[in-house]
Amino acid sequence: MIYTRKNSGTCSSSTTVEIEGDIIKNVSVEGGCNGNLKGIAKLCEGKNVDEIIGALKGTTCGFKNTSCPDQIALALIEAKQKQG
């Protein structure tokens, strides 16, 4: 399943996740800090969805109450809910 979520509160505009069952196949983020987000995406690939949600959810960026990694976690949560 491929799911795209519009980001909120970050300099990135959207996050796309591809999951198969409970495993993350691919993560891509539009905008944001390109190199850092490519690295985070590679670290997510092949991992369990819940493991990555637990690691990234609640991460903040500077004075913001969210971050691109937090937005990845939110996209994974929504994709998992939609997947059923």
Interval 39-62: pLDDT, tens:
999 999 999 999 999 999 999 999
Round to whole Å and give the CA distance between 55 and 30. 21
Contact 3, 19 (CB under 8 A): yes
Give the chain's domain count. Answer: 1
Comparing CA positions, the residue from 82, 80, 75, 81 lying closest to residue 23 is 80
**What CATH number corresponds to the domain at position 76?**
3.90.1010
**Which structural domain, as residue segments, surrounds residue 6?**
2-83
pTM: 0.96
What is the pLDDT tens value at each position of the chain, 84 positions in all?
999 999 999 999 999 999 999 999 999 999 999 999 999 999 999 999 999 999 999 999 999 999 999 999 999 999 999 998
